[in-house]
Structure 1
Amino acid sequence: MSGYEKLTVVTSAAWLARDLDAAGVVPVTRDIGLDAPVLDGATALWCPGVYATRMVATGLEHPFASFGPDWPFFFPHRFLRRTVIADRLSDVRWLAAASLPGPVFGKLAEHKAPSAPARVYPSIDAFASRLREVFGDAAEDLQVLVSAPIVFRAEYRCFIAHGQVTAASFYLLRTRTGGEITWDAFETAEQAPPVESAVRFAQQVVDALEDGHRATGAPECGQPDGWVLDVGLDENGAWSVVEPNASWSSNPYHADPAGVVRSILASQDPAGRPDWRWRPDPVLAARVRPFPTSTRSTS
Structure 2
Amino acid sequence: MPTPIRTLALSPRVTATGHALAAAARRRGLGCETLREWRAPDGPSGIGSLYAGPLFADAVAGGLGLGLLEAPAGWLAELPYELTGRDIEFTTVAEARALRRPAFVKPPNDKSFPARVYPDGSGLPGPDAVDDDAPVLVGDIVAFTAEYRLYLLDGEVVTGSRYAVRGALDVVPLEEDALHGEVLDFAALLFAPGVPPLPSAVVVDVGTVDGRWAVVEANAAWASGHYACDSDAALDVVLRAARPAAEVGARDARFLRPVRHVVQ
TM-score, normalised relative to structure 2? 0.81
Contact conserved, 2:40 with 2:59, CA < 8 A, in 1?
A: no
Contact conserved, 1:85 with 1:145, CA < 8 A, in 2?
A: yes
Match of 2:75 in 1: 71
Task: Evaluate the alpha carbon distance shift between residue 73 and residue 63 of structure 1 in structure 2; reply closer, same or farther with a 3 A threshold.
Answer: same
**Which structure 1 residue ranges, 5 or more long, are not aligned?**
175-179, 214-220, 291-299
How do 1:107-256 residues align onto structure 2 when only pairs under 5 Å count?
Answer: 107-113=106-112, 116-123=113-120, 125-127=121-123, 130-132=124-126, 135-136=127-128, 139-174=131-166, 180-183=167-170, 189=173, 193-194=177-178, 196=180, 197-205=182-190, 207-208=191-192, 211-212=193-194, 222-234=197-209, 236-256=210-230
SS of 1:253's equivalent in the other structure is coil
Structure 1 letter corresponding to 2:256:
R
Contact conserved, 1:170 with 1:195, CA < 8 A, in 2?
A: no
Task: Evaluate the alpha carbon distance shift between residue 8 and residue 181 of structure 1 in structure 2; reply closer, same or farther with a 3 A threshold.
Answer: same
Residue identity over aligned pairs, in percent, reads 24
Contact conserved, 2:151 with 2:202, CA < 8 A, in 1?
A: yes
Report the CA distance between 1:68 and its aligned residue: 2.7
Report the CA distance between 1:37 and its aligned residue: 3.8
The answer to whether structure 1 residue 274 and structure 2 residue 253 are counterparts is: yes
Report the CA distance between 1:233 and its aligned residue: 1.0
Post-superposition Cα deviations, 1:208-266, rounded to whole Å, max 9, x if no partner, equal 2xx327xxxxxxx92201111011112x3211001101000000111011220111112
Contact conserved, 2:207 with 2:216, CA < 8 A, in 1?
A: yes
Structure with more of its chain in helix, by fraction = 1
Contact conserved, 1:18 with 1:28, CA < 8 A, in 2?
A: no
Task: Evaluate the alpha carbon distance shift between residue 248 and residue 138 of structure 1 in structure 2; reply closer, same or farther with a 3 A threshold.
Answer: closer
Report the CA distance between 1:106 and its aligned residue: 0.7
Report the CA distance between 1:157 and its aligned residue: 0.6
Structure 1 letter corresponding to 2:236:
R
Structure with more of its chain in strand, by fraction = 2
Match of 1:177 in 2: none
Q: CA RMSD in A?
A: 3.0
Post-superposition Cα deviations, 1:145-189, rounded to whole Å, max 9, x if no partner, equal 110111101111101111111111111112xxxxx4314xx5x64
TM-score, normalised relative to structure 1? 0.73
Contact conserved, 1:70 with 1:86, CA < 8 A, in 2?
A: yes
**Which structure 2 residue ranges, 5 or more long, are not aligned?**
none
